[in-house]
């Protein structure tokens, strides 16, 4: 199975970058499953029903999120009725929406997609390390499901790595989100799980993690209240990861970064 995961969509430039580049990525990389983290897609803060429907119509199979999932209040009603749009699974019990989605391909293969959020330098959450054990109890990689993918939304690479190493050999791949900066550590762990600390963002990289440069610079230099952060709006770059799994056992065979657009060095997997 070929899994294409695209990192945090930042505002209009991120949405337009996906709209521009996704058809070509689909043609060249031939993914079986497309997953996108869109938690900053609505002007940098949350998601809307219209944005999610647009991504799904473009061929995205599942949309993940993170700490900005509730920034648009009206979105709560939509996420509760759309199983393909996820919020982190370790929100408290009773929170609207779901943290995982079992997607079945046209050929019958199944992939379990899960979304978790870290707790280091983040809002207080339920323990993701304990929660994922319950999620995986009914699922056996290569038997009940053909692949398992996790988007881990967190600040620190140590937490992301620890989570992935704990699950090494039990999931196909884990890719981090939230920092908006693509890391250079795409690898396959000894147990067969693919990993990258952060996929990076889909957005304008002539910015401060996707935001207009002047506002955070003023915040850091003047230590005074500033206007609300606003996304940079020049041409965006698409950043993500492609993972290829072994259909017999569900573990990873290949992982490679995907970077297409201005400012960053463009990279495409060669498998």
Cβ neighbours around 190 below 10 Å, total: 9
Query: How many CA atoms within 13 Å lie on the side-chain side of 3?
Result: 36
Give the pLDDT of residue 38.
98
Cβ neighbours around 24 below 10 Å, total: 11
Coil/strand/helix, residue 215: helix
Give the pLDDT of residue 113.
98
Give the pLDDT of residue 226.
77
Architecture of domain 2-204+237-260: 4-Layer Sandwich (3.60)
Indicate if 68 belongs to the active site: yes
> Mean pLDDT for each 10-residue chunk of the chain (271 residues)?
98 98 98 98 96 97 96 92 97 96 98 98 96 96 96 98 98 98 98 98 96 91 84 96 97 98 97 97
- The answer to pTM > 0.75 is yes
Distance CA 133, CA 14 (A): 33
Residue 102 CB contacts under 8 Å (≥ 6 apart), including other chains: 110, 111, 112, 113, 145
Give the pLDDT of residue 227.
80
Give the pLDDT of residue 188.
98
Domain ranges of the chain: 2-204+237-260
Helices and strands per DSSP (H, E), number in the chain: 6, 11
Relative to beta strand 2-6, strand 238-245 is antiparallel
Give the pLDDT of residue 224.
78
Considering 68, 103, 139, 153, which one is annotated as catalytic?
68
């Amino acid at each position: 199975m070929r899994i294409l995961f695209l990192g945090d969509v930042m505002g209009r430039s991120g949405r337009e970058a996906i709209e521009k580049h996704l058809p070509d990525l689909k043609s060249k990389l031939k993914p079986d499953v497309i997953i996108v983290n869109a938690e900053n897609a609505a002007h940098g803060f949350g998601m809307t029903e219209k944005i999610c429907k647009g991504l799904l119509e473009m061929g995205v199979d599942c949309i993940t999120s993170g700490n900005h999932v509730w920034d648009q209040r009206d979105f709560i009603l939509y996420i509760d009725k759309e199983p393909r749009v996820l919020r982190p699974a370790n929100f408290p019990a009773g929170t609207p929406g779901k943290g995982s989605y079992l997607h079945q391909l046209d050929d019958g293969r199944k992939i379990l997609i899960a979304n978790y959020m870290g707790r280091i330098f983040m809002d207080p959450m339920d323990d993701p390390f304990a929660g994922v054990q319950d999620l995986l109890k009914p699922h056996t990689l290569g038997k009940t499901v053909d692949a398992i993918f996790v988007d881990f939304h967190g600040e620190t690479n140590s937490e992301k790595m620890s989570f992935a190493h704990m699950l090494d050999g039990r999931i196909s791949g884990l890719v981090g989100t939230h920092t908006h900066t693509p890391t250079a550590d795409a690898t396959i762990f000894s147990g067969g799980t693919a990993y990258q600390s952060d996929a990076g963002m889909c957005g304008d990289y002539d910015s401060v993690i996707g935001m207009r440069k002047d506002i955070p610079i003023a915040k850091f230099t003047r230590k005074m209240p500033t206007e609300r952060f606003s996304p940079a709006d020049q041409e965006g770059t698409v950043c993500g990861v492609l993972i290829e799994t072994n259909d017999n056992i569900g573990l990873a065979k290949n992982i490679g970064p995907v970077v297409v657009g201005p400012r960053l060095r463009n990279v495409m997997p060669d498998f």
